[in-house]
Chain A
Amino acid sequence: MKKLLLASIITVLLSNIAMAATQTIKANVNGMVCAFCAQGIEKKMRALSQTKDVYVNLKQRIVAVELKEGQTLSNDTVKDLIKDAGYEVTSIEMSEHPVLQIKAEMEAK
């Protein structure tokens, strides 16, 4: 019983540590209305060595970039890449949620 309790506590702690390590950049992007045209954003983000996953939501105008563990990416780099793809970043925020969770939340709206 004690072993089971200890294993559960360790699992929860490790899970929380993993969650805390997740860093996702969420950028609000103006002009992003067409998937065919916005694919440049996804391609440029995925090409970065720091990137683990990318999610684009046209309706909410959001680009979310999940970083690999221990990696960082400056806001300016994100803005420049999106500008190169032809769009304009209006704001950037950090999230501790992985892209899959952000995607699930947005698609549930």
Chain B
Amino acid sequence: MLFNQLITPAMCLLLLASQYATAGPMGFKDSFMVMGDFNNNWRESFINYAITPRDAFGVSVTYMRSDDKTKTRTLEEVTYTRLLHRWNLPNSQANLWFVGGIGALQGEDEHVGKDDNFSKTMFTPGVQFDYETTRIYFAATHRFYRASDINHDFTSVRAGFSFYETEYDKTQPWFVLEARNMNSLSDKIEITPMLRLINKSFFVEAGVNNSRQPRFNFMYIF
């Protein structure tokens, strides 16, 4: 039963191949969460399982590439997500999360004359804070991506608003603006305005960044 739950829909979505696009990087107790985050230079797919209301374990695959395309990285990691604190308020919710992982990093740096290939162990501890009402959303994330002589720390800030309130079982459209940076892979801050659609069973975002590259995110809980 558990195997079928894991394999059938989740792995299909994973094959399609996220920094965590919505309020929470994990679902409710005993649920799986599948996430994907794709653009030209950062592609991440992720699945985790919540063993308690506050703890989830998962696996993640991330492809990173520098703006000039001379550096590529692939990271396969096991992850742990912990809800450090949640503030359940009458008309809002705020959360403080820990997300961390350990995994195998394969990298390639192109140099004139010869390429440099390497494999290293990477550690990726990070925190996320988010605040949300039915009309506004804010999130700030910082996650270390470290291996020996490697620092690809990830920083992201997101803010948005919903165009209108909807009933629980209706799809709600949002506008979200994200600024993010991946250290040593990009010198600039990537700005992406996105349209977000939230339904009780799916979450998708799509936009175009300030380098005119498309971006697509999704999340699914089951």
Interface residues of A (CB under 8 A from B): 30-44, 55-59, 61, 83-88, 90, 107
- Is there an interface contact between B203 and A40, defined as CB atoms closer than 8 Å? no
The residue that A35 contacts in the complex, of B28, B133, B168, B219, with Cβ under 8 A, is B168
Name 15 interchain pairs, CB-CB below 8 A, sorted by A: A31-B89, A33-B91, A33-B133, A34-B22, A34-B132, A35-B170, A35-B198, A35-B199, A36-B199, A36-B219, A37-B24, A38-B168, A39-B28, A59-B165, A61-B90
Report the nearest B residue to A107, measured CB to CB.
B167
CB of B31 closer than 8 Å to a CB of A: yes
Give A54 to B116 CA distance when docked, in angstroms. 58
The residue that B201 contacts in the complex, of A33, A39, A57, A84, with Cβ under 8 A, is A39
Contact-size category for B: 35 or more
Give A49 to B92 CA distance when docked, in angstroms. 31
Assuming A59-B165, A85-B28, is B53 touching A33 (CB within 8 A)? Answer: no
Interface residues of B (CB under 8 A from A): 22-24, 27-29, 31, 53, 83, 86-93, 132-134, 165-170, 172, 198-203, 219, 221
The residue that B168 contacts in the complex, of A31, A43, A57, with Cβ under 8 A, is A57
The residue that A36 contacts in the complex, of B93, B133, B170, B202, with Cβ under 8 A, is B202
Counting residue pairs across A and B whose Cβ atoms lie within 8 Å, the total is: 88
List of A residues within 8 angstroms of B172 by Cβ:
35
- Is there an interface contact between A33 and B168, defined as CB atoms closer than 8 Å? no
List of B residues within 8 angstroms of A34 by Cβ:
22-23, 93, 132, 134, 198
- Is there an interface contact between B28 and A44, defined as CB atoms closer than 8 Å? yes
- Is there an interface contact between B169 and A33, defined as CB atoms closer than 8 Å? no
Assuming A30-B90, A31-B92, A86-B28, is B168 touching A37 (CB within 8 A)? Answer: no
- Is there an interface contact between A85 and B29, defined as CB atoms closer than 8 Å? yes
